[in-house]
Structure 1
Amino acid sequence: MASKINLEHPRDQITKIISRIYKRGMTTTSGGNISIIDSQGDIWVTPSAIDKGSLMPSDIVCVKKDGTIIGKHKPSSEFPFHKAIYDMRPDIKSVIHAHPPALVSFSIVRKIPNTNVISQAKHVCGPIGYAKYELPGSNALGEVIAEEFKKGFKAVIMENHGTVLGGSDLDDAFQRFEALELCARTILYGSQIGKPNYLTDAQIEQFEAQTQSDYPEMKQTDFPSDEVEKRLEICNIVKRSCQQGLMISSYGTVSMRWKDNDFLITPTHVNRWDISIEDIVQIKNGKREEGKNPSRATWIHQEIYKRNPHINSIIMTQSPYLMAFSVTNTFLNVRTIPESWIFLQDIPSVAYGTHFKTNNNTQIIDNCSTALIIENDSVIITGDKLLQTFDYLEVAEFSAKSIVLGTSLGSMVPIDDNQVEDLRKKFLT
């Protein structure tokens, strides 16, 4: 997946990613560490005991290939296992270690999350290893982790500790980190409302085998001011979705109708955190902008726009509480508070696989509701203005979260039919 972060200095890359992890609540002020090994064999790593919430590029430490330490701080106390991984796996160029709550939950009950819970997660994360407990910062911990990486794993659950992930670069490691934590949260939240269902390897392979794009290229593309304005809107909403935990770097599609049935859509294989207006793909008269590959879900967006003239923007994503309903096939009853039902009405779901182009599912396209859940895959939100559609996504996720959290208190008591009818008469007629 393409990322612009590799063009930055290792100290800037590390600072950017640790900030994302901290702001998303996936590590603490003192917890977690990140490293990059450069082409010279020098290792750039976060410092020991320095606030992760305000880390600056100048705080990053460089441990030279000969062991010399350059920087104003000590390297992370967990540096030994970072080095052990690099020594064992020359293909690994970056390592992330953190204590995200859901993955820590798995580590303390000594289980590995099953990535078959979401269609593309297994492809992003790969198989998951498991390292037995050893003293933090010890050479023994480095040895047990390195042994797991020796087996070919790039993601490892650390017993009673957290997780460690490697990648071909920092962007690759972070995508794996985000996807694995999303899987863990989805399983945890899903287990509170039902029993998570898992896809077979064959179903996941079927998803991965879908063609990237069968849209012919335009010979010439025009970029009038109104088109460029929509590109900027899409980029802002994608980044906001990532910041709010409603989208991850490896998954999420946003589109806006431009003129008639022509529209703009996010590309495939481009990191959502770093998306720019140049990455957005124009689809005009059934053709794609030259040199760009639109999302694999482009056909769904195109058909929705064709058959639903009132819809002018679409968000397709995986947010953790909505995914809990997706993977358990549990009905998401948004008759929780008036606002939820007014915005969303009842949310249908469709079976996994019905979103593949070969099925051309009419429930997704012809009877397109404001929100629709695809089992073990995603949620589709539609609306007029893109900000409105994003608001619907937030309302849906908040409603799902309230229901999941409320299960510990008792059974949900929804607004009754008479109250819903009153809402319909006042707000929808």
Structure 2
Amino acid sequence: MKSLLNTTTMHPRDQIALIMLRIYDRVLTTTSGGNISIIDEEENIWITPAGVDKGLLKPSDIVCVKKDGTIVGAHKPSSEYPFHRAIYKRRPDIKSVIHAHPPGIVAFSIVRKVPDTRVLPQVHARCGSIGYAAYAMPGTEALGENIADEFAKGVSVVIMENHGTVIGGADISDAYLKFELIEVTAKSMLYGSRIGTAHSLTEGCIEKHLLRFKPGLQEEIPVQPFSTNSREKRTALHKIINRACRQGLMLGAYGSISTRSEGNDFIITPDGLSKWDLMPGDLVQIRDGKKEKGKTPDKTVLLHQAIYERYPDINAIIMTQPTYLTSFAITGAHFNVRTIPETWIYLQDVQTGELGCLFSEDGVPQPVMPEEAPVMIIKNEGVVVTGNKLLQAFDYLEVAEFSAKSLILSASLGDMIPIEDHEIDALGKVMSRWKNYEWKI
């Protein structure tokens, strides 16, 4: 297993190498494209080197530019070092910078537009509005000044005209999580334009929605050794989270997964920790409406709890924002499940709910889940997936995202031709055999 990011104990060179490889493995940069830096407590800047394969980058490749300008390392620093230095000078609160050319953001860059973060409340809350830097030659002081001028306005994400993006963070994890969020938002808007029109929210609507996820479960259960059953469920949940991140089905900064343990008790992802870097011990046990001592569950915990209490047959819940399903969420476009037999048999129907539909008017979780339909798209939010078992819920998520992608890709070919009624009737006869596969977890 690859090392997990720890910004407190890991050396800057190890942090940079890990995150650059993560970006490369997610196909968000190329062999030669992009650069990352960290400024340490002595104001030395650690940065990726020039001319080194990003897919094979090692900690020993990382270059240190000392405060006095001395260069330490086996390579030259990135040619884009000037704008990293300029950002740190203008924004002392920024401790890490990521620059790359991910396809979604570049698409906006080359038509000289910026994604509207108001299409998703969580993205807007974390990333804010996006700055836009005028074009200048790569590696020049002029480019550095153009970018730094935007950061000086207080933004943490800047689109570079005909170039790419620059993200600043309180540490490298913060910068990466913003980078991932903005790219998914950009792609969701681009793909969404094939099936409808993205709808932006007002600041007031965003604020009201985020208040629905206020911290809950202040009472704690004592710390005690994990039981064998708890360890097994934590390990299974951790594996699913890791797989979801690698496949782009879950983002480091947003999303929650839980699995029922006994009765209405469950285990859920924690709040404030990147999904990429979780360990089984980070997951939070909820027992008798109380949280595991010393841990903070995800802000959606009260909604998970309400679903388990109301629906005894649901044993796993996933709330997330994968790219293609999110395209349907921000446009409100109809998701037709009659694409291929597997989609109809597994999903039956994909309903779309309004933002906040799982809450009462005063913000109390009051979930009404679709009967016999494990996937529900929430406008300007994402998707909620449920299942009798954890692996079953994950499979539903995969099937739904694959189907959403196919529906979007087919839009350029013509109108979708759905499976006909008599074919649906025939599929109903084999549905139970397919759908009741014996999931192990």
Q: Same fold (TM over 0.5)?
A: yes
- How far off its partner does 1:215 sit? 4.6
- How far off its partner does 1:359 sit? 5.0
Q: 1:41 to 1:240 in 2, by over 3 A?
A: same
Q: Which of 327, 350, 359 pairs up with 2:330?
A: 327
Partner residue, 1:350:
353
- How far off its partner does 1:247 sit? 1.1
- How far off its partner does 1:310 sit? 2.3
Secondary structure (helix, strand or coil) at the match of 1:160 reads coil
Letter in 2 for 1:135: M
* Residue pair 1:344, 1:396 contacting (<8 A) in 2 also: yes
1:387 paired with 2:388, answer no
1:33 paired with 2:38, answer no
- Distance in 2 (alpha carbons) for counterparts of 1:261 and 1:168: 38
Partner residue, 2:437:
none
Letter in 2 for 1:412: M
* Residue pair 1:215, 1:286 contacting (<8 A) in 2 also: no
* Residue pair 1:120, 1:207 contacting (<8 A) in 2 also: no
Matched pairs, number: 426
Q: 1:314 to 1:368 in 2, by over 3 A?
A: farther
1:206 paired with 2:208, answer yes
1:226 paired with 2:229, answer yes
Partner residue, 1:75:
77
* Farther off after superposition, 289-298 or 264-273: 289-298
**What TM-score, normalized by structure 2, do the two folds share?**
0.93
Partner residue, 2:376:
372
- Distance in 2 (alpha carbons) for counterparts of 1:236 and 1:220: 23
* Farther off after superposition, 307-316 or 29-38: 307-316
- How far off its partner does 1:235 sit? 1.2
Q: 1:350 to 1:397 in 2, by over 3 A?
A: same
Letter in 2 for 1:141: L
Can you list the C-alpha shifts for 1:174-225, whole angstroms capped at 9, x where unaligned?
Answer: 1111111111111111111001111111111113323211352224545211
1:419 paired with 2:423, answer yes
1:285 paired with 2:277, answer no
Q: Which of 154, 159, 169 pairs up with 1:157?
A: 159
Secondary structure (helix, strand or coil) at the match of 1:6 reads coil
Q: Which of 402, 413, 417 pairs up with 1:398?
A: 402
- Distance in 1 (alpha carbons) for counterparts of 2:389 and 2:210: 31
- Distance in 2 (alpha carbons) for counterparts of 1:300 and 1:87: 43
Identity across aligned pairs (percent)? 53
- Distance in 2 (alpha carbons) for counterparts of 1:384 and 1:163: 41
- How far off its partner does 1:49 sit? 1.4
* Farther off after superposition, 417-426 or 49-58: 417-426
- Distance in 2 (alpha carbons) for counterparts of 1:240 and 1:294: 20
**What TM-score, normalized by structure 1, do the two folds share?**
0.96
Letter in 1 for 2:399: V
Letter in 2 for 1:344: L
Can you list the C-alpha shifts for 1:133-175, whole angstroms capped at 9, x where unaligned?
Answer: 0001111111111111111111100000000011111111111
Q: Which of 400, 405, 413 pairs up with 1:409?
A: 413
Letter in 2 for 1:422: A
- How far off its partner does 1:118 sit? 0.7
Partner residue, 1:363:
368
Letter in 2 for 1:258: S
* Residue pair 1:221, 1:289 contacting (<8 A) in 2 also: no
Q: 1:214 to 1:226 in 2, by over 3 A?
A: closer
Letter in 2 for 1:26: L
Can you list the C-alpha shifts for 1:256-312, whole angstroms capped at 9, x where unaligned?
Answer: 111121111111111111111221111111111112221222222222222322221
Partner residue, 1:56:
58
Partner residue, 2:317:
314
Letter in 1 for 2:206: I
* Farther off after superposition, 276-285 or 221-230: 221-230
- RMSD between superposed Cα atoms in Å: 1.5
- Distance in 2 (alpha carbons) for counterparts of 1:215 and 1:351: 29
Secondary structure (helix, strand or coil) at the match of 1:192 reads coil
Partner residue, 2:439:
none
Partner residue, 1:8:
10
- How far off its partner does 1:362 sit? 4.3
* Residue pair 2:249, 2:322 contacting (<8 A) in 1 also: yes
User: What are the ranges of 5 or more consecutive residues in structure 1 without an aligned counterpart?
Assistant: none
Q: 1:131 to 1:98 in 2, by over 3 A?
A: same
Can you list the C-alpha shifts for 1:74-114, whole angstroms capped at 9, x where unaligned?
Answer: 11111111011111111111100000100000000000110
Secondary structure (helix, strand or coil) at the match of 1:7 reads coil
Can you list the C-alpha shifts for 1:17-47, whole angstroms capped at 9, x where unaligned?
Answer: 1111111111111000000000011110001
* Residue pair 2:284, 2:296 contacting (<8 A) in 1 also: yes
* Residue pair 1:6, 1:13 contacting (<8 A) in 2 also: no
Partner residue, 2:174:
172
* Farther off after superposition, 292-301 or 37-46: 292-301
